[in-house]
Structure 1
């Protein structure tokens, strides 16, 4: 199947899918935990999320890809985060309006980190590679298994400490409850050993949140989960799949072994002083 050109049209499709997944997550938190004050807004086509001060979703996606962005739009975005005492963060595609390269540093932003956005086409004839580990099976988890999926996912991060594992458990509960979400489990001998997230939006599948419990590693669960999610997405009519990964990471290597290619590398930008520009009227 022909690989799509990594142009602005593709970038808009990929960024909108991830932004919508995050907006749906924020709405799930808003619905289940109204005291969290989670919310999101759209400014110049970008989606800006507030999901809590410690959440990796508290930032914007798609800035400069859809509509022109100037000082007025940046001021509105900065005010949104400043009102909630949150860091001002924007993850920006290199296919966004080139004027941002001058505007962001001029407003006091500095580059913080890279993320590779990977993609591959999907078709109705997609078939995952055979699972080679005896007793290893994949399945979509059911709505009533949200806690099981979240617990399995969180246990995969247990080596990072109890506090982080607890954070990932609550994160997983909300992820499983988000509209458009289709979480998957890998089981070995009937016992869950790995979990992977999937979000479907207008023909694009976003793969996210994959982890394996320490005792279940080196059994091929992650590759099998990736294939199972791609197969499910293809059967739902998706023609494109995407995921994000740290440049050069094992996640990127696994994706490339399964037909993914890097579309572009995003840069996350952080405002040097929270709300400094917003307090002066965004000028």
Structure 2
């Protein structure tokens, strides 16, 4: 039985932090001019992936070591030197002193993310097989990164103008990151959905799932979820995790597939700097 305690939170937050750190390293490798980089501070990871990147923030703040004014100053200086905003995603299982410290330094709460988890075993019945016999799932090869990124971007194309190009670039880097295992779902031999998987120690992070408009309501996402969980279990992962907006369809789908809510994080934004 896995309980939603601080030990679990540390496993989950370290996995997501490492996934994003590996992404930042891939960005730096593929686009050195981006100056993407990251640093550890008091057990947390502070990542810079560009001024407007959603990965430019910290993960794990207050979960591994105490955080005071000196540590926050170090993090804030790291972002200020890169002319980037300062964001922290903080688990409610982190040091409770942050609840007073962050507002006092000019931070305000911005948004929530629910973190979900489920145990993994090679013997688990992870999900029902897809109803469509023409639907197939597989891990992509090293020479298919562009195809995977294009499929992933097409799935996000209905979410807003300009998102397709951003997600294609994001997907290319994500699929090229150390520890990544991207999957495709194909219908009648054509790629219709993409899903990301990252593994760190014995924890599998599910991320980046999308389906192209023409391939929706065919069971592709359920098939991708099952395929990634089975693969992670075979690789020795004993725990799977994912993030979702509270109360969203993604959260409901995860809970239907055996995931439980570990906690809901708060994202904090620095609005003003203290002297």
TM-score normalised by the shorter chain: which range applies? over 0.9
Deviations 1:117-158 (A, max 9, x none): 000000121243211112001000111100000000000011
Contiguous gaps of at least 5 residues in structure 2: none
Separation of aligned partners in 1, 2:179 and 2:193: 20
Answer yes or no: is 1:86 the counterpart of 2:79. no
SS of residue in 2 equivalent to 1:105 = helix
Q: Which position in structure 1 is the counterpart of 2:228?
A: 229
Q: Which position in structure 2 is the counterpart of 1:34?
A: 32
Separation of aligned partners in 2, 1:122 and 1:157: 29
Separation of aligned partners in 2, 1:139 and 1:11: 30
Structure 1 runs (4+) deviating above 6 angstroms are none
TM-score of the superposition, structure 2-length normalised?
0.98
Separation of aligned partners in 2, 1:44 and 1:240: 25
Q: Which position in structure 2 is the counterpart of 1:149?
A: 148
Q: Which position in structure 1 is the counterpart of 2:204?
A: 205
Q: Which position in structure 1 is the counterpart of 2:58?
A: 60
Answer yes or no: is 1:252 the counterpart of 2:251. yes
The equivalences for 1:191-202 within 5 A come to 191-202=190-201
CA apart distance, 1:160:
2.6
CA apart distance, 1:54:
1.4
Q: Which position in structure 2 is the counterpart of 1:272?
A: 271
2:42 equivalent among 31, 41, 44: 44
Separation of aligned partners in 2, 1:253 and 1:148: 29
Q: Which position in structure 2 is the counterpart of 1:187?
A: 186
1:118 equivalent among 100, 116, 119: 116
CA apart distance, 1:174:
0.1
Q: Which position in structure 1 is the counterpart of 2:131?
A: 132
Separation of aligned partners in 1, 2:265 and 2:59: 10
Name the stretch that deviates more: 66-75 or 156-165: 156-165
SS of residue in 1 equivalent to 2:102 = helix
Separation of aligned partners in 1, 2:29 and 2:246: 35
CA apart distance, 1:162:
4.4
Aligned-residue Cα RMSD (Å) equals 0.8
Count of equivalent residues: 274
SS of residue in 2 equivalent to 1:156 = helix
Separation of aligned partners in 2, 1:132 and 1:223: 10
Separation of aligned partners in 1, 2:121 and 2:8: 17
Q: Which position in structure 2 is the counterpart of 1:76?
A: 74
Contiguous gaps of at least 5 residues in structure 1: none
Q: Which position in structure 1 is the counterpart of 2:106?
A: 108
Answer yes or no: is 1:218 the counterpart of 2:222. no
